[in-house]
Amino acid sequence: MTGFAAIVRRDLRLALRQGSDSTMVVMFFVLTCVLFPFGVGPEPNILARIAPGVIWVAALLASMLALERLFLADYEDGSLELLATAPPPLEFVVAAKILAHWLTTGLPLLIATPLLAILLNLPSEGFQVLIATLLLGTPTLSLIGAIGAALILGARRGGVLLSLLVLPLYIPVLIFGVGAVDAVIGGFPARTHVLVLSGILAVALPLAPFAAAAALRQALE
């Protein structure tokens, strides 16, 4: 666990030192949500109807922006080979990097979400469920995305290939995340949607680090 925490701290320091990736993710998320009222008009009922989908799609796309560099920087400077041969198992290294990725991308998206929900006229009863589903869904996006980032490591046009790999896997998270908020706004319970999101996270949490680590070993051979 000491090695795990050290890798998380290392990646957080690098992210804070560079700053560009995290800022780019948040700005993309905010600008995407802000542009929708200009595109569909300022009608409050229309904005309220599309608000959950807009926020979720924007969060999904924003979380993908920094995925390509999740392992790429360490791969290019040789640090990844050192991490792979270090005492902590590579799966622990991958899990630490995924956690750092979520803290620098997913967490800022959660912080920005309430203001954007107000901008898009999201009904008040949907606020808590929106935050809860994003709290469950954004770590899942990082876990699934880490597998894609490991698979495209060293490939040409990796960003395009990464999108093709992970977007189909993101669809269930998007459907149940938006569905939970729509259910609450419509006066229906969101328990089923939240349980499905929790189940997806519970499956991805142990499996994604092992799958990504296997892909990294293949890339390093």
pLDDT of residue 132: 93
Cβ(218)–Cβ(152) under 8 Å?
no
Please state, for a pLDDT cut of 90, what percent of the chain lies above it.
34
What local confidence, expressed as pLDDT, does residue 138 receive?
Answer: 93
pLDDT at 142 over 80: yes
pLDDT digits (tens, 9 = 90+) for 96-120: 889 988 988 889 899 999 999 988 8
Distance CA 101, CA 215 (A): 18
In this structure, what DSSP letter does residue 104 have? I
| 207, 212, 217, 221 alpha-carbon torsion, rounded to 10° | 140
User: Residue 1: is its pLDDT beyond 70?
Assistant: no
Residue ranges of domains in the chain: 2-220
Query: Whole-number mean pLDDT of the chain?
Result: 86
Range in 3-17, 88-102, 187-201 the model is least confident about? 3-17
- Which of 106, 108, 99 lies closest to 10, judged by CA? 99
Query: What length does the chain have?
Result: 221
What does the pLDDT read at residue 19? 63
Per residue in 46-87, pLDDT (tens digit) is: 888 889 999 999 999 988 887 877 777 777 777 777 777 777
* Position with higher pLDDT, 42 vs 102: 102
When mean pLDDT is compared over 147-151, 159-163, 175-179, the highest value belongs to: 175-179
- Contact predicate 193/183, CB 8 Å: yes
Q: Is the pLDDT of residue 175 over 90?
A: yes
